Each structure stands twice: as C-alpha cells, then as structure tokens.
C-alpha cells in the first residue's frame, strides 16, 4: 500500500489550487486521514515558513472516491503578524467532500503547563500487530502496513474515574521520515483519524455498526516526530442517536503532550450485518 509520502503528495495547479494524488487502496471510500492530511499540506504550501500550524478543524461532507484525485482550493482568510488562517475545500466531481480551517502561529514565550502522561506498558513490550492479529484483521490492516500500531490491552488501560470508554494505543511510522517538522504535523493529521472512533466501540464490541468520521479537530502543542513512538490516549464521553463523540491526547515517550484531537463519528447500528461496515476514518 501507499507510503505516507505518496499518501500526502499534492501537485500545485494554480497559486492556491492543488491536486492530491489517488493512491493504491483496498478501502471502498477515501480514508479520511488522507483527505485531512492532503488538505493540510495544501494549506501549508500557501503560508510563510515562519508560521507553524497550531490547529485545524475539518468536516467530512461526502464519501470520497479513492480512485479519483481530490482537488484542494485554498482561501487566504487572514494574514496577521502572529497568526494567519487558511480555509481549504476538497472537491471531487464538482462537489465538496471535505472542508477545513487551519490556523498558523509564530511561536512566542509564555507560561507552560501540561497534564501528566498515563502510565502504560512501553510499546516494545507489546506484540507487533503484524504478529498478533488474525489473518482477517491483518488483511484489513494492510492499508496501514507502514505503521506500527500496538494497542494496550483493555485490562491494562490506565483508567480515569467516571469516563465511559477508554482506549490507549502506541503508534509510529515504521520508516525514517524527513526532518521537516511540518511534514510530521501533516503525517500526524493523517494518522490521528485511525483508531480514534474505535474508542467508542470498546464497550459495544459485539454490536455491528457502520462507522465513518464526521468531523475532526486537532491542536498541535509541541514538536514531535511521527517516526518515534507516540501514545494515543483515547476516550469516548458520549454516544447516541447514531453518533459518537471521541477525543484523544497524544504524548511522546518523554511524557510531553504534543497534540490533542476531538472527533465526532457515525456509529450507526447496521440493519443488515451481512452488508458489512466501513473502517473508522473513511470519509
């Protein structure tokens, strides 16, 4: 399957118009993380390098066709001394499939604090998913074969009182990535859509559902590398009416909180379980 470099590749067609590559996939719909990642790359290409992206807010509007490229149109909403803002619309066949606002900031000095990282088993003490998954699950995860994803067993999750559903996942890209910090941010935007909606399913594991991302928001807090281990501490505070709210905090191994994610997703009961479901993150 596609490498992250291939998945995030975009071509500049005009000053603020880009075309994202369509890549080899086994998914029936475009993976939402790829759309968000490509949209962010397009926004980054229109911003002076002195600005760093600190947040994004996106909506998945229509299913994407993975066999067609997506065109991204960037609007330059604000050009400030400390902040600038971009709005990006992803289009296929004349219709918007994704829209996103991204904000960029020139860093400055200020007070610092952060929550404490959960206490969990180190990633290398957990089995590689490639060695522990069933053949059926392993086939489904071929889409992300370049990622090392290791889930903390549910009986070992560092639980916080009163939370309805929790899940904790270590992940990293298996191969060395370029040093450009913005490439790691775009890579994390891609990966952050994977597994997060699954946190809403840990207490409904036996219920067949149709799952898809509806919206996605991220805040990038500190520098990180996506080819180093990151802990994705996930929770789902509520599910109902066919939708689930999920959130995640992402830590590096040094215990630094590097990003926060919120997402609402479709988690609709399947009327016909034989019809199957789409993986979380398909837009």
List per-block mean pLDDT (blocks of 10 residues) for the chain, which spans 283 residues: 94 98 89 96 97 97 94 97 97 97 94 96 90 69 89 93 94 96 96 93 89 95 98 96 96 98 94 55 45
Angle 259-71-33 from CA coordinates, rounded to 5°: 30
Asked whether residue 233 is assigned to any structural domain, the reply reads yes
Asked whether residue 151 is assigned to any structural domain, the reply reads yes
Show the domain range for 250: 4-107+122-275
Asked whether residue 101 is assigned to any structural domain, the reply reads yes
List the catalytic residues. 193, 213, 263
- Give the model confidence (pLDDT) of 130-141 as tens digits: 776 677 667 667
Please give the tally of structural domains in the chain: 1
CB 40 within 8 A of CB 98: no
Distances from the Cα of 281 to the Cα of 164, 169, 181, 216, angstroms: 21, 16, 24, 10
Asked whether residue 116 is assigned to any structural domain, the reply reads no
- CA separation for the pair 281, 283 (Å, rounded): 6
| pLDDT of 54 | 97
Asked whether residue 113 is assigned to any structural domain, the reply reads no
CATH code for position 32: 2.40.160.210
Its pTM stands at 0.91
Asked whether residue 281 is assigned to any structural domain, the reply reads no
- CA separation for the pair 239, 243 (Å, rounded): 6
Asked whether residue 208 is assigned to any structural domain, the reply reads yes
What three-state secondary structure class fits 218? strand
- CA separation for the pair 37, 190 (Å, rounded): 5
CB 224 within 8 A of CB 252: yes
């Amino acid at each position: 399957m596609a490498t992250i470099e291939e998945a995030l590749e975009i071509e500049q067609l005009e000053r603020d118009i880009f075309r994202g590559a369509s890549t080899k996939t086994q998914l029936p719909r475009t993976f939402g993380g790829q759309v968000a990642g490509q949209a962010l790359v397009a926004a980054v290409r229109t911003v002076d390098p002195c600005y760093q992206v600190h947040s994004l807010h996106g909506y998945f509007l229509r299913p994407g066709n993975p066999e067609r490229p997506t065109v991204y149109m960037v609007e330059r909403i604000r050009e400030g001394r400390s902040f600038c803002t971009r709005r990006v619309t992803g289009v296929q066949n004349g219709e918007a499939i994704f829209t996103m606002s991204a904000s960029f900031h020139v860093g400055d000095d200020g007070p610092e604090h952060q929550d404490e990282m959960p206490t969990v088993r180190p990633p290398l003490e957990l089995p590689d998913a490639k060695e522990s998954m069933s053949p059926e699950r392993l086939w489904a995860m071929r889409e992300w074969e370049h990622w090392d994803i290791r889930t903390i067993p549910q009986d070992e999750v560092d639980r916080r009182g009163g939370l309805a559903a929790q899940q904790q996942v270590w992940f990293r890209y298996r191969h060395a990535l370029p040093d450009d910090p913005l490439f790691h941010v775009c890579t994390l935007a891609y990966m952050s859509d994977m597994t997060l909606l699954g946190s809403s399913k840990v207490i409904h594991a036996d219920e067949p559902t149709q799952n898809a991302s509806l919206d996605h928001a991220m805040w990038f807090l500190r520098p990180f590398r996506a080819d180093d281990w990151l802990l994705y501490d996930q929770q789902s505070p509520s599910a109902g009416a066919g939708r689930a709210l999920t959130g995640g905090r992402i830590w590096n191994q040094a215990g630094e909180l590097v990003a926060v994610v919120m997402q609402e997703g479709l988690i609709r009961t399947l009327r016909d379980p034989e019809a199957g479901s789409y993986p979380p993150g398909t837009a």
